[in-house]
Chains A and B, each alone.
Chain A
Amino acid sequence: MFDTALFLLADGLTNGAVYAQVALSLVLVYSVTRVVNIAQGEYVMLGALTYADLLDGRMPATMAIVVTGLALWGVTSAWTARHNRRAMMRVLGGAALACLVLAGISAGVLAAPRSAFLAMPAAILLVASLGPIVYRVTVQPNPNASTVVLVIISVGVDMVLQGVGLLFWGSSTYSVAPLANGGISVGPLFLAWQSIAIIAIAIVIMAALYAFFEFTLYGKALQATAINRLGAQFCGIPVARAGALAFFLGAAFSATSGMLLAPLVTAHYDMGFVIGLKGFVGSAMGGLIDYPLALAGVFAVGVLESTSAYAWSAYREVLVFALLIPILLWRSHRLKPGQEA
């Protein structure tokens, strides 16, 4: 009995670590840009598939998505700047340069011997660059949109990204080799190296994000934007650029989570959405703005998921999503009257 409980706990923590990276992305994106990013899970999918492509020696289809996105961005930005020839040329040149750099990196990784340690950063960079593109194309043109409008925009982005995933990768599943095979036995528990890697990398990312916020100017600028957008703008922080940076980092974290998860469950086009939603349930505990509470939330989701899958497998999804109700009740209870969530 005790062995089972211990096993389920370890299992739940691994689940939680996967959702944790998505939760970090969600909180980061929401606090800086006020976008409840429904599409966050799709970066998990893109990360996994891009990584699979690079490991198998194919030019990732993500490249095509990025090029199309950059073209869209270039054209729309050039149109806004059409009265200023130099600004227009700068935008178009920047987009073209970004395309070339990303294509060069992918080609370099493909030319080099296959290695997870080359493929992973390249895939993260490729997927992460989609973040700012999505921000520039969908969020930035609507600077004063309400939260609801931004949610609807992100639903649209989600549908587009998932559809594009199906278009480029098809419905097949791609196997991805784990970083290391096997695992270790700790007492009655068997822990796969991949699970340990997931938890370890999640911890590293959390620590890095903390250091970034506390010790760098960019991090402080992001935090300032999150705390008070208008005030930050008055202090000379370019909030649009902060938003693009938040989307970049968010996409990077989620993509990492997808790459670490792929060896356990394979990569396929519809893997992302549900992971995104579970990350969302966890982050709701922190009201989408509080990092430590969001992390507590996702680990609670992970453990609840594995215990309910053991005890009542037919209801485990229901239980996980029903967790949102007590979380929201608890949050509304904590707030003082008149305060906004």
Chain B
Amino acid sequence: MSVNMNGRQGGLLALGLAASLAMACGPAQAQTAKPELRIGAVFTLTGPAAPIGIPAKNGIQLLEEQLAKRTDLPFTPRFIIYDDASDPTKAVNNTRKLVTEDQVHLVICCSTTPASMAILETINSGAVPNISVASAASVIEPAAERKWTFKTPSTDKLQVTRVVDDMVARGVKKIAFFGQEDSYGEGGWMALQRVAQEKGLTIVTAERFARTDTNFTPQALKIKQANPDAVYFHAIPPSSALAQQAIRRVGYTGPTYHGGGSAIVAFIDVAKDAAEGTIISAGPLLVYRELPDAYGAKAEIMRFTQLYGAKFGADKIDIFPGQSWDAGRIAVDAAERAVKGGADLTKVEDTRKRLRDAVEATRDFPGVDGVFNYSPTDHLGLDLRSTFLTVVKNGKFTLLQR
């Protein structure tokens, strides 16, 4: 811009500035007329568990964009996202910050089970509803003690129950467990022990491996020598796929089952031919195309995969963004009902209480993880209807028909 500006230029500039200011302020003012719904989220964006937390953040970002297009909401949703760096202590600090400083109405925390357990006390004493996206059932059970905590991801127990039912139907008597030696694998192991006992199966051996192991054959050999009728794997790829390869390499030919961790395309990519015929228990996202249109969540899953695929790439669609997407949508839906029921979002403490009750009253809510039905005794909201068995056929997951 020249220093010697003449009068006319200056006038034009002022006019332009005024116009752009008016344009910038106009919609913003229209928005602030509505009260703000503050949803705080703590995800694991750095550190070892980042692969789970980053997609979860993407799910929330997508939801925020979609919600911005909706004009019918009685409030303006705002999401505040923090990172817990794979550290439960940091998760607690950030949750506390959300509750006391940011004055959020609802919390979505956390990506991992240890962090979700660590914040229970903060959630209860802060009397703020939380929807966790961690996998273990212990986050929400018993529901009486976890009054303020809900979650969206399906649990180990649901997956294992489906698997064991199928084993029983095939006349399997002796099974082996082959799982990851961390909290995820232990969750599967506890669930398998409980369900197997209920259904009268004997576990002949339980072998472990680590996510970063380079060799799985010794354990596979041991399993083969124990001679089980079927093997259940509870781990995530690549190690679950490498373990599957190892069990075939040592010459075991019986049926193999996997928990939900293996229900992603990476499993087939890594295990290749060894994956053929493997039965994997999974949520509806993996097989929604084959489900009947009558299935409650099908339309929602199609909408989600379309939107998410368009923004982040079709190959990035998996369960983790779906879980946070569901958590966010359940929260917004509950808030709509709460506001209709007379909640005033400016009165934060009262709204938190009303929001919690509204989340608990969620019925027949279609999400990416299935159809949610929360109740005072069930804070997971999913049941066997949202757990499916899939079989790998010609390098693709297909719904197991019986």
CB within 8 Å of B: which residues of A? 4, 7-8, 11, 14-15, 18, 163, 166, 170-173, 175, 261, 264-266, 268, 270-271, 273-275, 305-307, 309-311, 313-314, 317
B242, closest chain A residue (CB):
A265
The answer to the question of B20 belonging to the interface, with a C-beta cut-off of 8 Å to chain A, is no
Please, how many angstroms separate the alpha-carbon atoms of A265 and B225 in the complex?
23
Q: How far is the CB of B362 from chain A (nearest CB, A)?
A: 31
Say whether A15 contacts B207, CB under 8 Å: no
With A11-B217, A310-B222, A313-B208 as known contacts, state yes or no: A166 contacts B238, CB within 8 Å.
Answer: no
Instruction: For the complex, give the distance between the alpha carbons of A227 and B279 in Å.
Output: 59
Nearest 9 CB-CB pairs, A to B? A171-B51, A310-B218, A309-B218, A313-B207, A173-B238, A314-B208, A274-B212, A266-B238, A313-B219
Main secondary structure of the interface of A (DSSP, over half): helix
Chain A nearest CB from B270 CB (Å) reads 5
Q: Is B204 an interface residue (CB 8 A)?
A: no
Question: For A15, what are the chain B residues with a Cβ–Cβ distance below 8 Å?
Answer: 214-215
| 148-205 of chain B: CB within 8 A of chain A | 181
Does B210 count as interface, using CB distance less than 8 angstroms? yes
Task: State how many angstroms separate the Cβ of A278 from the closest Cβ of chain B.
Answer: 9
B238 touches A310 (CB 8 A): no
List chain B residues, Cβ under 8 A from A265. 213-215, 238, 242
Please, how many angstroms separate the alpha-carbon atoms of A270 and B272 in the complex? 22
1/0 per residue B353-396: CB within 8 Å of A? Answer: 00000000000000000000000000000000000000000000
Q: Which of B181, B210, B221 contacts A4 (CB 8 A)?
A: B221
A270:B266 contact, CB within 8 angstroms: no
C-alpha spacing A261/B238, complex, angstroms: 14
Q: Chain B's nearest CB lies how many Å from the CB of A168?
A: 13
Distance in angstroms between the alpha carbons of A58 and B257 in the assembled complex: 35
Question: Can you list 23 contacts pairing A with B, beta carbon distance less than 8 Å?
Answer: A7-B217, A8-B218, A15-B215, A18-B214, A166-B50, A171-B51, A173-B269, A173-B270, A175-B270, A264-B215, A270-B48, A271-B214, A274-B212, A275-B214, A306-B215, A310-B218, A310-B219, A310-B221, A313-B209, A313-B218, A314-B206, A314-B207, A317-B181
B88 within 8 A of A: no
Closest Cβ–Cβ distance, residue A110 to chain B (whole Å): 22
Q: Are A173 and B237 in contact (CB under 8 A)?
A: yes
Q: Which residues of B contact A314 (CB under 8 A)?
A: 181, 206-208
CB distance from B43 to the nearest CB of A (A): 14
- In the complex, A314 Cα to B46 Cα: how many Å? 28
Contact A175 B218 (CB under 8 A): no
Greatest chain B CB density within 10 A among A166, A265, A268 is at: A265
Tell me the complex Cα distance, A261–B218, Å.
Answer: 17
Give B contacts to A, CB under 8 Å.
Answer: 46, 48, 50-51, 54, 181, 206-215, 217-219, 221-222, 225, 237-238, 242, 266, 269-270, 272
Contacts of B214 in A (CB 8 A): 15, 18, 261, 264-265, 271, 275
Question: What B residues does A18 contact at CB under 8 A?
Answer: 214
C-alpha spacing A268/B211, complex, angstroms: 11
Q: Cβ of A171 and Cβ of B50 under 8 Å apart?
A: yes
Give the shortest distance, in Å, between B229 (CB) and chain A (any CB).
Answer: 20
Given A4-B221, A172-B266, is A309 in contact with B48 using a C-beta cutoff of 8 Å? no
Chain B minimum-CB-distance residue to A172: B266
Complex-state Cα separation, A310 to B219, whole angstroms: 5
Contacts of B269 in A (CB 8 A): 173, 175
> Of residues A4, A15, A261, A310, which shows the largest number of chain B Cβ atoms within 10 Å of its Cβ?
A310
Please tell me if the beta carbons of B212 and A306 are within 8 angstroms of each other in the complex. Answer: no
Q: CA separation between A176 and B207, bound complex, in Å?
A: 27
**CB pair B222 A313 closer than 8 Å:** yes
Interchain CB contact under 8 A, B218 and A173: no
Distance A265 CA – B212 CA, assembled complex (angstroms): 9
Residues of A within 8 A of B210 (CB): 274, 317
Q: In the complex the two chains form, what is the Cα distance from A274 to B211 in whole Å? A: 10
The CB with the most chain A CB atoms within 10 A, among B54, B210, B211, B221, is that of B221
Q: Which residue of B lies closest to A278 (CB)?
A: B214
Please indicate the chain B residues that have their CB under 8 angstroms from the CB of A309 in the complex.
209, 215, 218-219
Please, how many angstroms separate the alpha-carbon atoms of A306 and B212 in the complex? 15
Q: Are A306 and B270 in contact (CB under 8 A)?
A: no
With a cutoff of 8 Å between Cβ atoms, the chain B residues found around residue A273 in the complex are 212
In the complex, chain A residues whose CB is within 8 Å of the CB of B272 = 175
Q: How far is the CB of B278 from chain A (nearest CB, A)?
A: 17
A271–B212 CB distance below 8 A: yes
Give the distance in Å from the alpha carbon of A163 to the alpha carbon of B45 in the complex.
Answer: 12
- The residue on A at minimum CB distance from B245 is A264
Residues of B within 8 A of A305 (CB): 215
* Measured CA separation A307–B221 after assembly (Å): 11
Once bound together, how far apart are the Cα atoms of A163 and B272, in whole Å? 29
Closest Cβ–Cβ distance, residue A90 to chain B (whole Å): 39
Cβ distance B103 to chain A, nearest Cβ, rounded Å: 33
List chain B residues, Cβ under 8 A from A310: 218-219, 221-222
Please report the C-alpha to C-alpha distance between residue A306 and residue B220 in the assembled complex, in whole angstroms: 11
Tell me how far the C-beta of A174 lies from the nearest C-beta in chain B, rounded to whole angstroms.
Answer: 9
Please indicate the chain B residues that have their CB under 8 angstroms from the CB of A170 in the complex. Answer: 51
